[in-house]
Amino acid sequence: MNQLEQLKQFTTVVADTGDFQSIKAYTPRDATTNPSLILKAVQKDEYKPLLQKAVRDNPNASTGDIIDRLLIAFGKEILDVIPGRVSTEIDARLSFDVEGNIAKGRELIALYEQAGIPRERVLIKIASTWEGIRAAEVLEKEGIRCNMTLLFSLAQAIACAEAGAQLISPFVGRIYDWYKKSTAIDYQGAEDPGVQSVKRIYNYYRKFGYKTEVMGASFRNTSQILELAGCDLLTISPDLLQKLADDSAPVARKLSADNLPAAGIIKLSVDEKTFRFMLNEDAMATEKLAEGIRAFCADSGKLKQMITALR
């Protein structure tokens, strides 16, 4: 078996792309999208008709509402080629707005259900701010499953699990980027800070019985992916999926609930004050969270410009 096939024995593989044509080639169970991936997709000729249709069918809608309908259109197409769930992201401008996130999560699920897609097949992606986590807590109680994104720290992970979030997406590659830039060290294998962060979260969840799924995300190379074999899920870009499919070297399971560290995992209680202090003390997580929100806002702005040009 190639490495992708071996990995699927230990971990649920998720496609990290809005390009549903490429998803077919790798047969993942789930798929994730975000504003940057959708922006990248609609610039391709084969996906421009989806954008044009969203604009044409909603002549009186705001640009924000048209983006929502575009996200749903991509989600529907993706769900036609995968057996599992698609993740659809809430506008990053709502990252510090509890009620705004709740309202938008309900709205996106309603749009999916109007299109005949049951809510069980959708994960609503919300930034892992304190406000985003509080919104997820409300949505989960309504049966709206949430994927907590832009997650860079154990504090965020604990708060998400205690809120009952369905899934978290710790960003391996962006953590690696920060440490590589700040230390000038090109971390490899198990020494990679992004890999270590996900392992720490996974082990914490398993030790204390949290049901929230851990999905490593934002990979820079296949080494990071293989070091996390055994994680609940891994969301992987098409280029790295292809590299795994082209390699037949052995893949060993690295994470397992049956093989947790004997010591060093301490239970933490994370209320709002503790969350904000722990996040503030983590320069990497603070900077990457803010940077990620700004980047998603910028790409949503570019989508709005494309929509305005078509009206």
DSSP codes of every residue in 178-197: HHHHHH-----GGG-HHHHH
Pairing of strands 86-89, 122-127: parallel
Q: From residue 251, how far is each of 67, 214, 254 by CA, in Å? A: 40, 20, 9
Alpha helices in 142-271 (DSSP H): 154-162, 172-183, 193-208, 222-226, 238-245
Q: Measured between alpha carbons, how far is 48 from 275 in angstroms, rounded to an integer? A: 42
Residue in 24, 40, 53, 125 annotated catalytic: 125
Q: To which residue do tokens 């994370």 refer?
A: 270
Q: How far apart are CA 196 and CA 200, in angstroms?
A: 6
Q: Residue 199 catalytic?
A: no
Q: How many CB atoms lie within 10 A of CB 137?
A: 18
**Do 17 and 1 form a contact (C-beta atoms < 8 A)?**
no
The catalytic site residues sit at 125
